[in-house]
Structure 1
Amino acid sequence: MTRKATRDTRTELLLAAERSFAHKGYAAVGINEVLSGIGVPKGSFYHYFSSKDAFGEAVIARYFEQYLAEMDEILDATGTDGASKIMAYFASWRESQGFGDGEGRCLAVKLSAEVADLSEPMRLALKAGTTQIVDRLERAIIGAAADGSAPFTGDARATAEALYQLWLGASVMAKVHRSLASIDTAAAVTRRLLGI
């Protein structure tokens, strides 16, 4: 006897919203737009989420869960020195900066400025996710210094925070100018900061 596959409506809602938010932003996307895009009735939405803000918080949390897993995969790669892992992470960041339909764009870049003043739960979800990114960067910097691939002697935490802020800003400027020049500049600055 074969079991019929069940629909994971909650996950479908989160994925559909992530795509829409990455393309249009949070405020410009209505719940009905997300629901109609995947054929889910409004009652089903309220079964999973109490409000649009709770929905937005869940979208952000899910996004970071996936993002951090991909980041871990890059930074935990075997057979590569620490500096190469850090630069591979930032190379993947560069690859994600498209100017087309919003697919693959960093949701933190898209939503941070928009929702930080609108929704405290969403701001906290963004803060938690970005803090975990900085934590991983800090460990990677310490690892690269330890294996000698990045002769870095400064404050690893402050440098990880500065690098993340640099790349966020570069991503915003890439969107404004429709050019990856700011991303390439961020990569060059990253190499200089880490001494690689």
Structure 2
Amino acid sequence: MNTKTINTKQHILEVGYHLVSKKGFTGMGLSELLKAAGIPKGSFYHYFQSKEQFGETLLRRYFDQYLARVELLFQSSEGNHYQNLMRFWQYWVENNRYLCDSGQCLVVKLASEVSDLSESMRQVLTTGTRQAVHLIAVCIEQGKQAGDIQVNDSQAMAEHLYEYWLGACLMNKIHQDDQSLERALVRTERLLQGTRPL
């Protein structure tokens, strides 16, 4: 695959990402994507067999970038495992207006929409979210072994926290305020410290 091919495909995905994050997957028409990207229909079908395959590729690209950032954060030498985990959740709170409200978090934006629409896209979401939970679980377990984190079951805690934060982000979209995420941050601190949550 030559540089021009890679650049064109990435351009389509980047333009599509911004449209999908604003309008949803079904809300973004193919003609709208072609116009915004400045490409003919033939160019789109050169890279993607269908809109659904485009959606799969878009989600895989999103998770690849997201997971790489999370892994880098968790491997940071700036703090212990507990501090790195809390930095991750704090980032979620501080950037919720950008990530959640604007639709930049494709998990929150597309989960209910595409899970009923496309089995292949649902599978990408399933794989991506499981990988995210795995990274959290590994960091919790490392913190547990180092004495930074006080939990019994690292995997169960990672699943609970990820699900809890996704729910908090959805409530944030509904209420248009930060209260649900602020409560999630306090609850997370207490859970990781082995303190009974409020």
Q: Same fold per TM (> 0.5)? A: yes
Q: What pairs up with 1:1-196 in 2 under 5 angstroms?
A: 6=4, 8-98=7-97, 105-152=104-151, 154-195=152-193
Structure 1 distance, partners of 2:129, 2:38, is 32
Structure 1 distance, partners of 2:42, 2:52, is 17
In the alignment, is the contact (CA less than 8 A) between 2:168 and 2:180 conserved in 1?
yes
Q: What do residues 145-176 of structure 1 show as CA deviations (whole Å, max 9, x unaligned)?
A: 12222122x11111101100001000111111
Structure 2 distance, partners of 1:28, 1:102, is 17
In the alignment, is the contact (CA less than 8 A) between 1:22 and 1:110 conserved in 2?
yes
Deviation at 1:91, TM superposition (A): 1.5
Q: Are the structure 2 counterparts of residues 101 and 159 from structure 1 closer, same or farther at C-alpha, using a change threshold of 3 Å?
A: closer
Deviation at 1:104, TM superposition (A): 6.9
Bigger shift: residues 59-68 or 87-96: 87-96
Structure 1 distance, partners of 2:99, 2:149, is 35
Bigger shift: residues 6-15 or 132-141: 6-15
Identity %: 38
Q: Runs of 4 or more off by more than 4 Å in structure 1?
A: 99-104
Q: Are the structure 2 counterparts of residues 151 and 123 from structure 1 closer, same or farther at C-alpha, using a change threshold of 3 Å?
A: same
Q: Could you tell me which amino acid in structure 2 is paired with residue 168 of structure 1?
A: L
Structure 2 distance, partners of 1:60, 1:174, is 22
- Look up the SS of the partner of 2:116 in the other structure: coil
**Gapped regions of structure 2 (runs ≥ 5):** none
In the alignment, is the contact (CA less than 8 A) between 2:30 and 2:51 conserved in 1?
yes
Q: Are the structure 2 counterparts of residues 97 and 40 from structure 1 closer, same or farther at C-alpha, using a change threshold of 3 Å?
A: same
**Gapped regions of structure 1 (runs ≥ 5):** none
Structure 2 distance, partners of 1:52, 1:6, is 21
Structure 2 distance, partners of 1:104, 1:80, is 30
Greater per-residue helix proportion: 2
